[in-house]
Amino acid sequence: MVTDLTSCYTSPAGKEFTLLAGRYAGISPASRVLDIGCGYGAGICNLAAEFRCRCTAVDTSEPNLTIARSRAEELRISHLIDFSQADINDIAPPEDPYDLVLAEGGLLSLLGRQAGLDISSGFLKHRGWLAFSDLVLLTEERKVPAEVLHIYDNKYYHYETEASYRQLLKNAGFEPHIITLVPPSGWDNYYAHMARRLEDSEGFFADRRVKELFHREIDVFYRLEGFRYIGYLFGLVRYEKSV
Ligand SMILES: C[S@@+](CC[C@H](N)C(=O)[O-])C[C@H]1O[C@@H](n2cnc3c(N)ncnc32)[C@H](O)[C@@H]1O
């Protein structure tokens, strides 16, 4: 069921998870937060509006950043967020590291999970927090219908399971505090947003091939009950490796 009609996340976890991360991590106006791959700015705007923290948001896509910047202006929080167009791989870790890094919407898979975790820890204070959300397989690969594996490009991303993700986090020096699967409403909010975007006549979703791809993804997810085989994992983990 759709529970957030205004969501502009391009991933299934959404506002409640971002705010949970902020609350649990004790984010305050004195805290510094980095959003890797901010997309339309949903996550970082929710954090800045709720906690008045100092934020940096990075994305490779200028069209996405344009939408994110105007969202921040509408919410009157643009003074709290420094948006910049960059590939996170090209940014050197700052002298003053962050209290919380957001990597929502499969950023860790997009960066390569091991590399993504190393990049995230490089930006964090010792005992800083990482909030991530990412696609995982809920069962053995051989039990997942080929069409479902294909639509999420498993051949390229080789998705983890929750257990293997936990192992990766541990090896990279992160201690799990919250690890949970996103409920069905998270997927419904995400696909409701994607369905709205398919009406776009400008930007990323205006492209006919993008529209076809998302039509197919939504169809496969609901027709083949993709939620039986794939899940979206949300994690709030703390970087514990000593420096
Ligand atoms: C699936 S979207 C997630 C957006 C947002 N975090 C959310 O959950 O709604 C992934 C975003 O990451 C950006 N991105 C992908 N690779 C990146 C990189 N190497 N550095 C910075 N941004 C990146 C894309 O442009 C896109 O906006």
- What is the pLDDT averaged over residues 3-24? 95
Q: Is the pLDDT of residue 92 over 90?
A: yes
**Inside any domain, residue 221:** no
137 close to 108: Cβ distance less than 8 angstroms = no
Rounded mean pLDDT of 98-127?
97
- Structure confidence at residue 243 (pLDDT): 53
Residue 62 lies in a domain: yes
Tokens of 53: 């923290």
Residue with CA nearest ligand 1 atom 10: 37
For residue 98, the model assigns a pLDDT of 98
Domain-embedded: residue 97:
yes
pTM as predicted? 0.97
pLDDT(14) > 60: yes
Position 144 in a domain: no
Mutate to test the pocket of ligand 1, among 44, 59, 190 (most ligand atoms within 8 A of CB): 59
Domain of 178, CATH number, reads 3.40.50.150
pLDDT reported for residue 242 = 65
pLDDT of residue 52: 98
Q: Quote the pLDDT of residue 18.
A: 98
206, part of any domain: no
What is the amino acid identity at position 21? A
Does residue 173 form part of some domain? yes
Nearest ligand 1 atom, CA 8: 9
Count of the separate structural domains present in the chain: 1
| Domain of 118, in residue numbers | 15-137+156-182+228-239
Question: How much is the average pLDDT of 158-182?
Answer: 98
Q: How confident is the model at residue 139 (pLDDT cuts 50, 70, 90)?
A: very high
Query: Which pLDDT does position 202 carry in this prediction?
Result: 85
When pLDDT is averaged across residues 200-224 and rounded to a whole number, the result is: 94
Let me know if residue 52 belongs to a domain.
Answer: yes
- Give distance in angstroms: CA of 37 to centre of ligand 1: 3
Q: Is residue 9 part of a domain?
A: no
Q: What is the mean pLDDT of residues 80-105?
A: 96
Mean pLDDT (the chain) is 96
155-to-141, 143, 146, 164, 168 alpha-carbon distances in Å: 11, 15, 10, 17, 19
**Which residues contact ligand 1 via a Cβ below 6 A?**
9-11, 36-39, 42-43, 58-61, 64, 87-89, 104-107, 110-111
Which residues lie closer than 8 Å to 138 by C-beta, 6 or more apart?
Answer: 161, 228, 229, 230, 231
